[in-house]
Structure 1
Amino acid sequence: MKNIPVQEIKPAGNGETFDIKALLAAREPERYSLHTHYLNEMMVKVLQTIGYDVGFKSGQGQYLFDRNDARYLDLLSGWGVFAIGRNHPLLRETLTSVLASDLPNLVQMDVSVLAGLLAERLLGFVPFLDKVFFCNSGTEAVEAAIKFARRATGRPGIVYCEHAFHGLSYGSLSLNGDQIFREGFGDTLPGCHAVPFNDLAALEKALAKHDIAAFIVEPVQGKGVNLPDDGYLAGVQALCRKYGTLFVADEIQTGLGRTGKFLAIEHWGVEPDMVLVAKALSGGHVPVGAVLSRKGIFEKVFSRMDRAVVHGSTFAKNDLAMAAGLATLEVIEREQLVEKAARNGERLLTFFQGLADRYELVRTVRGKGLMIGIEFGAPRSLKLKASWTLLETVNTGLFCQLITIPLFKEHKILVQVAGHASHTVKLLPTLVIDDGDCDWIERAFETVIADSHKVPGAVWSLGKTLADHAMKARAAK
């Protein structure tokens, strides 16, 4: 795609009106050249290589619209941010109202009423916890949990699970189970140790030295939609109590209704010492994260008046973020989105399990509510096996693009793989999808997966093209 020369942006002045809508419309043709010139050029190349450079111009609820007004069903929802859908009218009205109210906001030497109200509302959903610390994102919530755990216990160690994802700043990066995110960034936080997910014996061995401040775990691992065994989280809780380690549940992606419960831990009846939420709490407009904690932990961290500001974040508790959180919780309750996620999730999981029974490339289906993973694996038939092996030799996990790209181009469904070198396609739709959307999903996946079993065929022609791109990229390194 030919880059359009980047124009100089002239600041408004001399009585001119600053019109963001007009500026956006005027500069829309430069979308990719602006990013190539000033931002992440590699991301632009990825979009252009796989044909995702359609120029989305608007979004409403579960739908996206491109430059030609074609409608797409979004099964990424901004990695789970848009649980209540894009541009929900209640959220927009709430934020507009806050902006029109001339609130003092971030006085710092004062406390916010909106922050108090959001904390009260959140803890109403999680009655076994007592305090809330607000921050700006999920990774900041993880960073805070590390500090709080070390301060509260006086211990240095943090244990996490293999294949986990907890964020990309240095503390949270130290708890990531995927090496690709760490490569080239030097040493991470000392005292952090990984154990296999679903392995209580390994966890007990790690905790037995009594030097571990916290064990942090995603109730459902986001990078593969990996579910805990039925007794795993209860066992985690028992071991943490036994060895004096704090049990931290990272619900940044799974929380606020995603799995068909307000928190995913409710499926297994456990009560961690800290719960981390973010993503969906923002409503998609103003970033916000939160650490929900037992009172005793807070009292160790904020233990005296001179320690009242020992940990914080400049923009945490800002009025727009707090109002966005309140409006999001209101929508979730008012529209019964937790129950809706459970109902639609059960329907889709049943459908995808049927695909696994009928198609040999579909290895297994996993999920809770509207967090669903479809894992593909090596086929039995010789023709399919030869084609699969070719792709896997070039790039592990490349086959999944033979599913996601046709879904996007031919069926207008936006979905992606669950992680780097993964064989799992992950659905993370908004919680507002309806029966018609479920019909759309089922038709599209049935068609694309059926086509992937035809060799030769259009899907495998795409595979050869992708393999060629991958080999050229490897040769250019």
Structure 2
Amino acid sequence: MSVHATHSGSARIDPRYDLAALVASRESDRFSLHTKHLNEMWVRVLKTIGYDVGFTRGLGPYLWDRKGDRYLDLLSGWGVFALGRNHPAVRDALVSVLDGELANLVQLDVSVLAGVLAEKLLDYAPWLEKVFFANSGAEGVEAAIKFARAATGRPGILHCAHSFHGLTYGSLSMNGDEIFKKGFGPLLPNAHEVAFDDLDALERALAGRDVAAFFVEPIQGKGVNIPQEGYLLGAQALCRKYGTLFVADEIQTGVGRTGRFFAIDHFPGVEPDMIVVAKALSGGHVPVGAVLTRKWIFDKVFDRMDRAVVHGSTFSKNDLAMAAGVATLDVLKNERVIENAAKTGDRLLASFQRMAAGYELVADVRGKGLMIGIEFGPPKSFKLKAAWNLLETVNSGLFCQLISIPLFRDHKVLTQVAGHGNHTIKLLPTLTISDEDCDWIEQSFDAVIADAHKAPSAVWSLGKTLAEHAIKARMSG
């Protein structure tokens, strides 16, 4: 690689520097590199369940493996790729920033692009007036915790059972799944859990008037749990009554995922004091998170000139991230992406509900837009019940792997279980999927679920293999 000077005196990397060629030359080392230098346990998981196909290309809702086989991605990077992979408008925006040689991250200046992105975001929440940018959803949650304590002078932080707000220490303290917390304590003091969708429990938790903020996902990612119609509005009223800030975690549900820009938009009158967004706002390229907040809260944090930098993040307002966010919001509007999410989501929900009526293993189907959960439950027929109970005895939630693995292996559909020990498979496809993609999804799920209702079958043979692996792992651990 060599470096040349341009006419302006800046350095330009020789175009012969080819990252694609570097990746291709090391493709055969993909898993050995990770085993040696990164997370060996994750490599073992991928190989055990047959996901070690080595993806080499992504475009829109599709992935291609090293053999050239095409897959439909219903995971979309845990919701990051709302626009699909490598959307040309986002890519062009990033190239424009690089070609423009902007004075990025001067620090003793302010960013035009950050101001523009903040303005665009606040159009979707007109009761809020300020934005704080971060590098991720978890970092946004950390900021919201600090802002809430500074604004209220209270120590308490409240979250819901089965919640997920991130894995940094503050956000981990509000995690509703103990498996993520084990071995990392002590965590943040004064962080407490309350039942989701239970206003009586919430009022009891708030009554002491020591809670700075109540954090809630409008639709919970772990299980795709949707509250009753009046829950969020009632929670907001209780927070107002007891002087607690109401914070909506829209990291996964926001930016069009549910067929509205925010999931709270499905519940008229809900106007949180803070909203945290991330994931899809990135356009799938450069991480970005944002906290939208009321001005009085913001002003409690940045209350004097000598406190102008009491909270921040080195890379948070970098021009590439801001450009990706601006381009993403423009694409959502110009290409009517959110409308497509609502339309295709309605179609898929109706299709899965028909499957639920015909298959005893399908216990429930729920969702909004393109955030859909298919919950499986114990069957009534004796032969299936015996097989189900065997799996549950070994590892609760293992049955979902009997659906997700054949979907991947036989139908080239990538999806995920909605949480540890969970019986729900979650769909988070790109918001740009077509009717043909919906056909692919429906036919694949129908075939795999139908096979699961036959015992013995290939699905239950897989279950036996997974159970043996689980037992072996437990004994070795």
Cα distance between partner residues in 2 of 1:400 and 1:20: 38
Question: Which residues of 2 match residues 122-133 of structure 1 at below 5 A?
Answer: 122-133=121-132
Q: Deviations over 1:91-139 (max 9, x none)?
A: 1111001001111100000000000000001111111110000000000
Partner of 1:341: 341
Q: Which amino acid aligns with 1:152?
A: A
Q: Does 1:68 align with 2:54?
A: no
- Corresponding residue for 2:202? 203
Distance in 1 separating the partners of 2:208 and 2:468: 51
Q: Deviation string for 1:188-240 (max 9, x for gaps)?
A: 00011100000101110111111110000000000110001111001001001
1:26 maps to amino acid: S
Which amino acid in structure 2 is aligned with residue 440 of structure 1? W
* SS of 1:116 mapped into structure 2: helix
Q: Indicate the SS of the match to 1:125.
A: coil
Q: Secondary structure at 1:92's aligned position in 2? A: helix
Q: 1-side partners of 2:363 and 2:62: how far apart?
A: 29
Q: Which amino acid aligns with 1:66?
A: D
Q: What residue is the counterpart of 1:3 in the other structure?
A: none
Distance 1:18 1:348 in 2: 45
Write out aligned runs for 1:218-233 (5 A): 218-233=217-232
3-state SS of 1:127 partner: coil
In structure 2, the CA distance between the partners of 1:472 and 1:242, relative to structure 1 (3 Å rule), is same
The TM-score, its normalising length taken from structure 1, stands at 0.97
Q: CA deviation at 1:438?
A: 0.3
Counterpart check, 1:353 vs 2:353: yes
- Match of 2:204, SS state, is helix
Name the residue aligned to 2:8.
none
**Matching residue's letter, 1:286:** V
Cα drift, residue 14 of structure 1 = 10
Partners of 1:397 and 1:137 in 2: CA distance: 29
Q: C-alpha displacement at 1:19, in angstroms?
A: 2.4
Paired residue for 2:135?
136
Q: How many correspondences in the alignment?
A: 466
Instruction: Specify the alignment match of 2:7 in structure 1.
Output: none
The offset of 1:22, in angstroms, is: 1.5
Equivalent residue number for residue 442 of structure 1: 442
Identity of aligned residues (%): 70
| Partner Cα separation in structure 2 for residue 471 and residue 329 of structure 1 | 47
Give the corresponding residue for 1:84.
Answer: 83
The answer on 1:304 being equivalent to 2:308 is no
- Render the CA deviation track for 1:281-329: whole Å, top value 9, x for unaligned: 0011100000000011011110010111010000010000000000000
Alpha-carbon distance in 1 for matches of 2:2, 2:82:
39
Q: Structure 1, unaligned stretches of length 5 or more?
A: 1-11
Pairing of 1:16-415 with structure 2 (within 5 A): 18-269=17-268, 270-415=270-415
CA distance in structure 2 between the partners assigned to 1:42 and 1:33 by the alignment: 12
Cα distance in 2 for partners of 1:278, 1:437 equals 26
Q: What is the CA distance between 1:13 and its match in structure 2?
A: 6.8
Deviations 1:406-455 (A, max 9, x none): 00011000001000011000000000001000000000001000000000
Unaligned 5+ segments in structure 2 are 5-13
Show the counterpart of 1:423: 423
Compute the displacement of 1:74 (Å).
0.2
Runs of 4+ with >4 A deviation: 12-17
- Cα distance in 2 between the residues matched to 1:203 and 1:77: 33
Query: What is the letter of the counterpart of residue 333 of structure 2?
Result: E
Q: What residue identity is the alignment partner of 1:313?
A: S
1:280 match: secondary structure: helix
Deviation at 1:21, TM superposition (A): 1.7
Deviations 1:168-189 (A, max 9, x none): 0000000000000000112100
CA root-mean-square deviation: 1.0
